[in-house]
Amino acid sequence: MQKLVVKGKKKLSGAIRISGSKNATLPILAASILNKKKIEINKVPIVKDVITMVELLKHIGSNIKFDLSKNKILIHNQNRKLKTTAPYKLLKTMRAGLIVLGPLLSKFKKAKVSLPGGCAIGSRPVDIHLFVLKKLGAKIKIKNGYILAETKKGLIGKRIRLPSISVGATENALIAASYAKGTTYLSNCACEPEIKDLTIFLKKMGIKIQWIGERKVKISGSHNLKSVSHTVMFDRIEAGTFVIAGALTGKKLKISGIDTKILKKEISVLKKMNVKLRVNKNDITILNSKNIKPVSISTQPYPGFPTDLQAQIMVLMTRANGISKIKENIFEKRFMHVPELNRMGAKIKISRDTSLVYGPQQLNGAEVMATDLRASVSLVLAGLVAEDETIINRVYHLDRGYEKLENKLRKCKANIFRSN
């Protein structure tokens, strides 16, 4: 099994261009199930979760081609009969596979989808997904590890309030409602930029979608869909990760190919920590930052501070002059990286959903174990500032969501490589 080796104390300098968003690509690929016309998706990141979703679509019969040299996916399902089963072997490593439930059910009136796998960071129940689909008219049962859903008359638009904010359930609801009869009004929706990107894609396909409030959306279902070409938005979590890398070890690091309006909260937190940033519309330059200040944050749905950057910002907190605090409000098991950081010399104490990070602490290289996608990259960041060598096991977590991570870091003078 491959390991990642990081030799620390190298100052990063240069430029990193941010890839397309994994979390935007996956629901867009799921939505392609609805459409028989030609679909072109550009700026697709070459990461394991996307490759798995492409394999899933191929499995159900989709005519899909992934041009790795151009980061482009082409789909054309004219005269294709798609299967309605998404098997365990393809969903066991990727929770986002559940997103095919809505489009399969909406288009074919039945679906059999395995209960998903993915990162082990909490229960992330499927209940809200099923709640929404039941409201739209589905009959659902769970048997032998599969969700069995059907609707004899097809899904029918309704007024639905999600019981709690859920990104995946909002995406499933949006896609399912796009092919349902009549009009659906969704409230208490997640409003992440990736969801807005999905709505742009659905609109290009011919669906009438209107945001009528920060967390309210109106969808008028249609079967009259059009060919579409779409460029996926930038990966804001990758962008935030590299900005934090620059704050930790940067001499002068430029992060480009982004929309800084979307990163307002992250930029605000980093400025409070005394990180020196030069912010333009489509890029951020991180300058040599000293005297990092402690800060208190709590993770929230967008536009709050993202849970997917919690582990990374924690590494920066180990450099702060004082005690920082993180309250994790999204997932109940998202501090599994803390014991590994403590093994590297951090001083972090956990009490239920809150971590206290005591700084400044000099981190030291160690052999560590990645537990999930974002935890794995936090260990890379820790390795960049640590004394000596850090060896990170289970790097397959990293490959699920970061495109060419070590290549991008090496171009900026990091000493990082893979080893068997």
Q: Is 119 marked active-site?
A: yes
Q: At how many degrees (to 10) do helices 167-178 and 127-135 cross?
A: 20
Say which of 119, 189, 191, 412 is annotated catalytic: 119
CA-CA distance, 372 to 322, in Å (whole number)?
28
The pTM for the full model equals 0.95
CATH number for the segment(s) 22-231:
3.65.10.10
Residue 121 has pLDDT above 60, yes or no: no
Cis peptide before 87 (omega within 30 of 0): no
Which CATH class, in words, describes the domain spanning 3-19+234-419?
A: alpha beta
Confidence of residue 119 (pLDDT cuts 50, 70, 90): very low
Please check the confidence at residue 124 and state whether its pLDDT lies above 60.
no
For the stretch 344-368, pLDDT in tens is: 999 999 999 999 999 999 999 999 9
Q: Is 70 exceeded by the pLDDT of residue 117?
A: no
- In tens, the pLDDT along 230-276 reads 999 999 999 999 999 999 997 899 999 999 999 999 999 999 999 99
Strands 159-161 and 183-187: parallel
Every domain range in the chain assigned CATH 3.65.10.10: 3-19+234-419, 22-231
Q: Over range 46-68, report the average pLDDT.
A: 97
Q: What mean pLDDT comes out for the span 89-103?
A: 89
115 contact partners, CB below 8 Å, separation of at least 6: 88, 91, 98, 126, 142, 145, 146, 147
Q: How confident is the model at residue 122 (pLDDT cuts 50, 70, 90)?
A: very low
In angstroms, the CA 419 to CA 188 distance is 46
Q: How much is the pLDDT for 120?
A: 44
